[in-house]
Amino acid sequence: MSGKAKRRDDDGASDADSEGHAPPKKSLKKDSDDDPDSITVCEISKNRRVAVRNWKGSIMVDIREFYVKDGKQLPGRKGISLTMDQWNVLRNHVEEIDKAINENS
Amino acid sequence: MDDAETKGRIEETVRRVLQESDMDEVTESKIRKQASEQLGLDLSQPHFKAFVKQVVKAFLQEEEQRQQQQQQDEDDDDEEEEQGGVSKGKEYDDEGDLIICRLSDKRRVTIQDFRGKTLVSIREYYKKDGKELPTSKGISLTEEQWSTFKKNVPAIEKAIKKMESS
């Protein structure tokens, strides 16, 4: 398993997971102008997005919360980057997750 | 009358010998010999031999029926368990959250019940004191966020392929 060194932004201790109140938006797939190695796929809430990135030669699926500072949206510490192997496992269990949610609700 | 009485004693003895025998090892010949010794009769004579065979056969049939009945009772018990109990195979972590799958040795997807809300947690765990505890490295999605994420799985796949070809 390849080690993933990540830039850690220290934005204070995180308590319970915050919940976005805005309706989720489905954005068009677009390349970030400032980062050619990143594709923002969608926003799952006001401050959370899913991106596909090239990190040191490895492609990662990044599910992360963003925060605003100095007018810029910066990646926060709350999130996780998945390798292709991990993404494949998650993708293959999507229906199982749905089933578990329905049973739990 | 002697014949009837003798047959009664033979049947009783043969059945007792059968009950005391290891059914996997015993043979009809051995049964007959043991019964002969106990009764003081020569059961290898043709008409005795036929009668012993008959008793053994009847005993075995009854035994088979007993086992079938027992099997049926056990099946009924199984049905009760399946109806009332939780289905096996579901795995829970040390905090009682349902584990959907493991992405790697350290990472897993769990379903949490947080303050009455269902969350999908994709998180890294670490081991301490024999327990596997969640770290802050990860994210918990609400049902709404998960739903949006799921709808975009094809788009994510598309982006991966695009990134791979660049």
Domain of residue B122, CATH code? 2.30.31.10
Pair B9, B76 in one domain: yes
Q: Which residues of A touch B109 (CB under 8 A)?
A: 90, 93, 97
Nearest to B134 by CA among B121, B147, B125: B125
With 90 as the cut, is the pLDDT of residue B123 above it?
yes
pLDDT of residue B78: 52
- Quick one: closest CA in B to A86, which residue? B103
Q: Please check whether residue B64 lies inside any domain of the structure.
A: yes
The superfamily in CATH containing domain A36-102 is Transcriptional Coactivator Pc4; Chain A (2.30.31.10)
Which residues span the domain enclosing B30?
4-81
Show the CA angle centred on residue A54, arms to residues A49 and A58, nearest 5°: 120
pLDDT digits (tens, 9 = 90+) for A43-83: 999 999 999 999 999 999 999 999 999 999 899 999 999 99
Q: Please, which pLDDT band fits residue B157 given cuts at 50, 70 and 90?
A: very high
- Quick one: closest CA in B to A23, which residue? B144
Residue that finishes a domain, picked among B81, B110, B127: B81
Pair B47, B110 in one domain: no
Q: A35 in helix, strand or coil? A: strand
Q: Please check whether residue B86 lies inside any domain of the structure.
A: no
With 90 as the cut, is the pLDDT of residue B138 above it?
yes
Q: Integer distance in angstroms from the first to the last C-alpha of chain A?
A: 35
What average pLDDT does this structure show over B132-140?
94
Report the mean per-residue pLDDT for chain B.
85
Pair B55, B111 in one domain: no
Pair B52, B111 in one domain: no
Contact between A105 and A44 under an 8 Å Cβ cutoff? The reply is no
pLDDT of residue B67: 79
Nearest CB among A1, A42, A101 relative to B148 is that of A42
Most confident of A13-17, A21-25, B53-57: B53-57
